[in-house]
Structure 1
Amino acid sequence: MDGIINVFKPSGMTSHDVVSFIRKKACQKKVGHTGTLDPNAVGVLPICLGRATKIAQFLSDDKKSYRCELMLGKQTDTQDRYGKIIKTSDKKVNKEEIYNAINSFRGAIKQIPPMYSALKHNGKKLYELAREGKNIELKARDVFIYNIDIVHIGEQSALFDVECSKGTYIRSLCNDIGEILGTFGYMNFLLRSKVGIFDINSAKTVEEIDEMAQKHQLECILKPIDYALYNFEKFILNDIHYKRIINGVKIILNDSKYDINKLYRVYCRDTFIGIGKIEIINNRKLLKMQKVFIKGD
């Protein structure tokens, strides 16, 4: 079974728990997720099966969308509602100040990841170090906020939607908004509504997946590998190249319209072959396969 299942992850399950669940229901060993979602968060978690695990790295780079609730006046060690309160503030800010502070985070920003995260430091996960009482000085990372839509602003809270790049921590965003306002902030709720082309409207709950597995109908909700590579331009090869391309042989190109070092979805004989890149070797433009999903002869 090769493809991607769009799972609606419930609160309380880790991303690894979901992988284990799918592995059991699909009776398949090769299963992986496309980017960790906090255990207490809910929402879209695409799961790759079989040969689709080869494209997990490409899916993890996709834009992600979230709905988040920010609470002001308190800071927790995990930057969300499940952590220990470590600081409080009585400062009151008005709705206009909250609105302006949230919108100031649009575009390219620097962000320090939370200590309670799955990032690694010297081979050990940060949350493991945090639980040991260790505090590592982390460097700020470049992330990008493509869009923020404020849904509602309360007395000392805000509900907003955010579209962001890979590596963005919404918990840290809430913490940083609190700092900009001269108070504290933490994430009270998080729902991931979209990862690339996979959105919440087509996501299946674990209960629905369990039911379909019992009926041997999991393939009905399995998206093909190339579906997830929607942002890669399509490259169609002449049928005569079929045997060579499925065996990873470089193809000499006479057409100069294709861009060098760009990744393409490669098709031959109306079949998705894999991911290819255009390279120049000995002054010749060649198509070299990076990932092949068809077994060679």
Structure 2
Amino acid sequence: MGRRRKGLKIDGVLLLDKPVGLSSNSALQKARRLLNAQKAGHTGTLDPLASGLLPLCFGEATKFSADLLNADKEYLTTVKFGEKTSTGDAEGEVIFSAEPKFTFKEFCAVLERFRGEIVQIPPMYSALKKDGVPLYKFARKGEEIEREPRKVVISSLDIVDFQPPEVTLLVRCSKGTYIRTLGEDIGEALGCGAHLKTLRRTAIADLHIEEAVDLDLFERMTEEQRIAVLLPPDRLLQSLAPVKLDEEATKKFLNGMKVRTDERSIEEAKVRVYGISAEKTEFLLGVGRLTSDGVLAPDRLISFVDNDR
């Protein structure tokens, strides 16, 4: 007889406002203990020195955590110009300094170069791996590893506050964008160097920081209140088109069978799939692949082992 997993079977998403100084994994484990949840995961790390939106997944929601990895993200960052540091942020040692003499007009002109598709070289102080070892471990030893340039997209780059030597920017960008590198590259273009003073993630896809719960507040909540602030697993899937199945197709789909629908897609597309129970209650089945001729194949399914369905 198999050993029962400790904790409660909790399915849902917690939008956490992670504080500065805490790693993403530490935040996850703390929230997991507070919920006494069996299974937990996050949707991609946020640097300990950064604060802001960290979606945490529990139970069946962990099956869809990867769907946010490719999503656009939004950051609010304050960049200090005139000082370049060894880490690209305020924790590092100053390795170059120059008086920032740019005007607002000059700054706007330089900023224009960083909108749209740009090329970045990932920083040494990052979690990217070389032969299985994170680059930051090489960096801490003073070693420099060659990194391949990568294309990223800066869909919006707006000035929130202009008070040189500090400028606060709101950045909307594609996956894989390094905001530290963006700040350093802007400083390089201005000829004075720069590093990030603060970094806060404010959105991932259609998830926003305004919906997030402060960790201290979450800790002070009762068990019922903590459960109440969890969002349903399909909150991670809102960027996918919905497909609804009738009762017969629901049973087939849950058994791993392909079903034919009235829906169509120009090319094979990932969709979120809803079924209907005998009591006519609609519920999430999981994620499927929809072809141009209306055939829907299961991809990742919700498990209803502990449910009545």
TM-score, length-normalised on structure 1?
A: 0.93
Residue type at the aligned position of 1:59: L
Q: Counterpart of 2:46 in 1: which secondary structure?
A: coil
Match of 1:55 in 2: 64
Give the AA of the match of 1:242. Answer: T
**What is the CA distance between 1:247 and its match in structure 2?**
1.7
Q: 2:81–2:100: 8 Å Cα contact kept in structure 1? A: no
Contact kept in structure 1, 2:184 and 2:193, CA below 8 Å: yes
SS where residue 16 of structure 2 aligns?
A: strand
Determine the C-alpha separation between the residues in 2 that align with 1:84 and 1:30.
40
Task: Assess if the C-alpha contact under 8 Å between 1:247 and 1:295 holds in 2.
Answer: no
Question: Structure 1's 199 and 91: CA in aligned 2 closer, same or farther, altered over 3 A?
Answer: closer
Q: Which residue identity is paired with 1:220?
A: A
Q: Is the 8 A contact 1:3 1:225 kept in 2?
A: yes
Q: Deviations over 1:21-49 (max 9, x none)?
A: 11211112421111211111111111011
Q: Do the aligned residues in 1 keep the contact of 2:254 with 2:301 (CA within 8 Å)?
A: yes
- Is the counterpart of residue 25 in structure 1 residue 34 in structure 2? yes
**Which of 242, 248, 260 pairs up with 1:234?**
242
Unaligned 5+ segments in structure 1 are: none
Among 8, 14, 25, the residue aligned to 1:16:
25
Post-superposition CA distance 1:48-83 (Å, at most 9, x none): 111111111101211111111111111111101111
The residue type paired with residue 216 of structure 1 is E
Gaps of 5+ in 2: 1-9, 277-281
Task: Give the Cα–Cα distance (whole angstroms) in 2 for the partners of residues 259 and 217 of structure 1.
Answer: 43
Partner of 1:130: 139
- Work out whether residues 32 and 56 of structure 1, in 8 Å CA contact, stay in contact via their aligned partners in 2: yes
2:4 is aligned to none
| 1:116 positional shift | 0.7
Q: Does 1:277 align with 2:286?
A: no
CA distance in 2, matches of 1:158, 1:78: 19
Query: What SS is found at the alignment partner of 1:127?
Result: helix
SS at match of 2:192: coil
Q: Which amino acid aligns with 1:275?
A: V
Given that 1:71 and 1:157 are in contact with CA atoms closer than 8 Å, whether structure 2 keeps it comes out as: yes
Q: State how far apart, in whole Å, the 1-side matches of 2:263 and 2:69 are.
A: 31
1:278 partner letter? L
The letter of the residue matching 1:258 is S
Any residues of structure 2 matched to 1:33-52 within 5 Å, and which?
33-52=42-61
The one-letter amino acid paired with 2:141 is E
How much identity, in percent, do the aligned residues show?
35
Q: What is the number of equivalent residue pairs in this alignment?
A: 292
Query: Any conservation in 2 of the 1:95–1:154 contact (CA below 8 Å)?
Result: no
Q: CA RMSD in A?
A: 1.7
Which whole-Å CA distance do the structure 1 matches of 2:94 and 2:284 have between them?
A: 52
